[in-house]
Structure 1
Amino acid sequence: MHLLVLGAGVVGVTTAWFLQAQGHQVTVVDRQPQSGLETSYANGGQISVSHAEPWANPAAPLKVLKWLSQPEAPLLFRPGLDPYQWRWALSFLGQCTSSKAAHNIRQMVNLGTYSRAQLQALRKNIALEYDQLDKGILHFYTNPKEFEAALEPARIMRELGCDRQVVEADRAVELEPALKPIHHRIAGATYTSEDESGDARKFTQALAERCREAGVEFLYGTEVLGFEKVGDRILGVQALSEGKHHTLRADSYVLSLGSFSAVLARPLGLFLNIYPAKGYSITVPVKNEEAAFKVSLTDDEFKLVYSRLGDRIRVAGTAELGGYSRTLNGTRCRAIVRRAAELMPDAAHWEQAAFWTGLRPTTPSNVPYIGKSPFSNLYLNTGHGTLGWTHSCGSAAALADIVSGQKPEVDFAFSGL
């Protein structure tokens, strides 16, 4: 079967890889000149099954209200006139119950554990290099209330097979000596030894090259404008490249265009409850090897993640729900630098921070759309939010099984099944 994969981010490229591995002919389409140049470009770098607590939880509504007046808030809702933004927000509130949060944790842990195993097998089979480290992820808490709130989600994750162990401050510093200067401020921590980190852009571009060697065709500089359809079938994709309009045709299609998936699906009468959550990151050179961390870190109070990428440090986080603009907000950029420099002043040249922002395709539940659509030859692999890097290999492997008429090997509520 010939499949057209729309999107060459980490999700689209992994989808192409697993589809071609099952014998399909694959073409990947993206408006950028290379793979991995949008949301995959400078994300937090974590393969974090332990980051499975959804934003929508019983404590979220009061926090969001409090954060409305704080320009540096971890999750900032900027209300506008977009009805899809408000529909998303109402759906988000509907997910903020204990039962729904527990259900969503189960979905994300199951997919994350499966995806991490798929990534590890892929790396072993084709020897990809992307500044990867397999030293685990340490969530640390400088606010006792935040630590107490993390205990129940961590317990649920352990029951589901994600070994997120609760540890005291002494053990946290033993695991990552770079935290020694703030030992007295750590209220508690959790550690997941099997989690990993790595550069998502390097991974995506390296895997895209392996895809090309395996026969996958890439159409870069090609913007997807919409679909042609008849009945319940997609006939083609309207595209623009080098100033010319044309139609791309295949047997089936996979929608993996991140936050723009929802926009493209609407003219089909297909509603995907995905809204962009603008995230920020900084990348800085290591200053002092002894003061720089090796274990990937999560500062849960400030919703920031820290990954060591070779001789660079990446710090990423915060979410801004205010439309599709990718304009950098200087206040939020400076807040990341200030917090990182406060915690580990000697680790990096913080004054040399390179700033980046990207649009995370977020669903109210944080659970992505993976599987069939109402159209017989259109498949979905989109809406991964902050966990696109974490879930990419698993969602791609599962979707390849679905396309091939096989049952995926993971317990997950797939779309259309």
Structure 2
Amino acid sequence: MSHVAVLGAGVVGVTTAWYLRQAGFTVTVIERESAAAMQTSFANGGQISVSHATPWATPTTPKKALKWLFKEDAPLLFRLRADNTQLKWTLQFLQQCTAERADANLVQMVRLGLYSRDALQTLRAQLAIDYEQQTRGIMHFYTNQAEFEAALAPTERMQELGCERHVIDINNAVSLEPALYPIAHKLVGATYTSRDESGNAHLFTQKLAERCQQAGVTFLYNTDILALNPDQHAPVSQSHIHSLTVRPQGENAQTFTADSYVLALGSYSPLLVKPLGIDLPIFPAKGYSATYQVNPRAPHLAPFISLIDDEFKLVTSRLGDKLRVAGTAEFNGFNLELNPTRCAAITRRVQQLFPKGIIANSAQYWTGLRPMTPSNVPLIGQAHRGRVTHGSSNASSSFDNLWLNTGHGTLGWTHACGSAKALSQLMQGELPEVEFAFVGMEN
């Protein structure tokens, strides 16, 4: 089999390496950090949440975004910047804010999510990897009547697509997760998806990277990827990547050559391919998380079931004796500074929900860049010049050896195994067993 270079060692890149190696490819993973999963996959919300497939771009989102525009602790915050890339992305996002587009994007996300969750469960059974996983399902709970009512139609739509998300009453919600009992009087409704899961994405990715190495995958850590070098002699109708320019830490730039290349660099993906004439509509959304020590005197007062607080756009996952709470989004370019106001807002909400379940002053705050497409649907498939969207194709300007697995947004952990498995099949000339709008394929 041919040699594939996977660019990026987050959860998407490492799962891609695993499936490609299992298919017989020689695989090298190139990563600028010193280990796998040190950026966006480091401290995310930890959910495998097929049920969290409602896209951000809906008919009601523009109004909400305007209302939140100058609130530092808003769940979704667009910072006004003199940035043409952000402006262009925002306009593309607004084009997705129709009922028709929102439904089409939800369908894509649910299909990929179901496929990916099955792939993860199969992989876990095969490798017996322990990553603090919980298989107790995911519950969306609502303390706002309008938010609950807005969730009913998407819930029904997900059921039609095979996602077993169901509306449950408050008594059932509290019975499933007793840690919600102190705020039961504030709940107006809930939904529950029993087959959804949670776990430590960082731990999973690092353990899978170890298995990859044992299977023969090479990892080049501490190595910057500077450029993709096209073959100047390739026919106009079929572009070809000749090599990479890389720079290992402490060394001069050098050339690295493989037969094929997979782009899995998250928010940094568009920067690398822009010189090739490839326009990836991906923009970073800065997400936050806080990890708390569970109160050892009252561990039952912190939730075991993974939760989604839809009003405040926060998710919670129990990771051993820790509680991970993540969410919110700030569109502020590649800025990675922790905003104390947004950090405090997370802790304030957690204290409202589980005041005796966590040790509030134990919070470890983190922020990372989620690679968002305007539709929330990731870009998986064969690259081509021009604007790339899910399902786009340009046979006259495609690359025969450059592949995309990027733009997963908030669902990178959810969609990682399915995206990687599907891409490995595409690279073998096979059709994946999931109905999805892959890049480079006629749909």
In 2: Cα distance, 1:263 partner to 1:81 partner? 18
Matches for 1:89-108 after TM superposition, within 5 Å: 89-108=90-109
| Corresponding residue number in structure 1 for 2:304 | 294
Is 1:200 aligned to 2:201, yes or no?
yes
Unaligned residue ranges in structure 2 (runs of 5+):
385-398
Is 1:341 aligned to 2:348, yes or no?
no
In 2: Cα distance, 1:177 partner to 1:358 partner? 31
In 2: Cα distance, 1:147 partner to 1:254 partner? 40
In 1: Cα distance, 2:190 partner to 2:375 partner? 25
> Shift of the alpha carbon at 1:404?
0.6
| Corresponding residue number in structure 2 for 1:156 | 157
- Name the SS of the counterpart of 2:154 in structure 1: helix
Is 1:172 aligned to 2:182, yes or no?
no
In 2: Cα distance, 1:82 partner to 1:210 partner? 42
> Shift of the alpha carbon at 1:312?
0.6
1:234 to 218, 221, 241: 241
> Shift of the alpha carbon at 1:243?
3.0
Matches for 1:259-278 after TM superposition, within 5 Å: 259-278=267-286
| Corresponding residue number in structure 2 for 1:243 | 251
In 1: Cα distance, 2:313 partner to 2:4 partner? 38
- Residue identity opposite 2:118 in structure 1: A
RMSD after superposition: 0.6
- Name the SS of the counterpart of 1:373 in structure 2: strand
Matches for 1:365-380 after TM superposition, within 5 Å: 365-374=375-384, 375-380=399-404
| Corresponding residue number in structure 1 for 2:432 | 408
- Name the SS of the counterpart of 1:377 in structure 2: strand
- Name the SS of the counterpart of 1:333 in structure 2: helix
Size of the alignment, in residue pairs?
A: 417
- Residue identity opposite 2:247 in structure 1: L
> Shift of the alpha carbon at 1:171?
1.0
- Residue identity opposite 1:236 in structure 2: S
| Corresponding residue number in structure 2 for 1:285 | 293
In 1: Cα distance, 2:272 partner to 2:323 partner? 35
> Shift of the alpha carbon at 1:79?
1.8
In 2: Cα distance, 1:80 partner to 1:150 partner? 32
In 2: Cα distance, 1:169 partner to 1:87 partner? 43
| Corresponding residue number in structure 1 for 2:63 | 62
Deviations 1:99-151 (A, max 9, x none): 10000000000000000000000000010110000000000000000000000
> Shift of the alpha carbon at 1:69?
1.4
Determine what percentage of the aligned residue pairs are the same residue.
57
2:335 to 319, 322, 325: 325
In 2: Cα distance, 1:367 partner to 1:327 partner? 27
Deviations 1:210-239 (A, max 9, x none): 000000000000011111102400011111
| Corresponding residue number in structure 2 for 1:310 | 320
In 1: Cα distance, 2:113 partner to 2:270 partner? 23
- Residue identity opposite 2:241 in structure 1: I
1:355 to 365, 387, 405: 365
Is 1:256 aligned to 2:264, yes or no?
yes
Matches for 1:31-180 after TM superposition, within 5 Å: 31-180=32-181
In 1: Cα distance, 2:227 partner to 2:182 partner? 53
In 1: Cα distance, 2:435 partner to 2:350 partner? 37
Report the TM-score when normalising by structure 1: 0.99
> Shift of the alpha carbon at 1:157?
0.4
